[in-house]
Structure 1
């Protein structure tokens, strides 16, 4: 079954082809009409990957046609094309991701999974220490949850230390929000406060939904509550060199 069907432009029946060009034009038309199918190698990548890279728009189909013809002529060109498109997409995503900074601490694309009031969820920030000394995260507070816990490598902890020049990825650090007081719908932001030892607290807006970039609206927090009322509690501290 074809994943992407490339259709050639219509040619008027009154147009005449120059002598000696009939065979060449026919092969070109066949290449345009060749569908991108699910199986078959394109320089080490299958045609399904071509569709995913190119997308489903008309412009994407044109890119797929170019990719198919390029792969037949030179597989290395196809691999270079895929790499270029991948880097372009990654750069665009990075430009859209929101980043917050304060005194040598950078928090990149902090996000939290969407959830309903009464449930639990997890937050996933990337913390970068650009300062000259280590930073120690000792607490996280939010008015949107009854309890907030820090987890490092899946284990509860009271503190997390990030060495100077180091990055703590969301694959290792999680913030668990328990007993949500409000709904967390995809597309909005959850305000939280990060507390560091010997540093000023840092207010951060966590995007609700992993694919939410630079959210503009913040969830409405309960009236009469303050972020300091619900904080992280854990078992022991961990040092991230």
Structure 2
């Protein structure tokens, strides 16, 4: 499947198509959000590269429409220093963002990092199903359900949940989440992981025992505790052993 590049600047599109083609990617182009949505209706894409500043329909509006119907990974291309666009994009389900102007190698690295966690053809290892207290995670298709109900997670949200379940009853640091899920080191003031975890928390149904699915451990990261762990140690023990949080 090709990538979809959405940018109103013809010169930038041409440069990026040449760059991506040299690395073996096929690329479809769209000059604005409306054209992109039309292409999405007729084609399947591995990834969407979505510029924010565009006429007709900007990137934020386009992302809203994309997420109504598609879970296709989205890499937002934002103006450098425009925190609002980045935060909005992450809140709406973008998988990652990259500020313009960007280094060609960093763009390729971000694309490949997203594809490694979203496309089974980029993944090394055995396909398998993860089961945990009503959750079923299909690591091949990146789909998650709870008690048979699809959770409609983005691939990045899926990656966060998968990593936290894999480290049950232990703290997973934001640095680990950023490196293993986003494929990059966590830079100072980077709120990407916080936003993805916030979105994930909103999508998870209430836990049957009334407890939180996972805890935010201030200054440390996140932890998910099994029912068995909570029954054995109690809520206070979990707080003492892992630093508290809510």
Report if TM-score (shorter chain) is over 0.5.
no
Q: Higher RCO, 1 or 2 (CA under 8 Å, sep at least 6)?
A: 1
Report the TM-score when normalising by structure 2: 0.24
* Structure holding more helix per residue: 2
Structure of larger gyration radius = 1
Report the TM-score when normalising by structure 1: 0.24
* Structure holding more strand per residue: 1
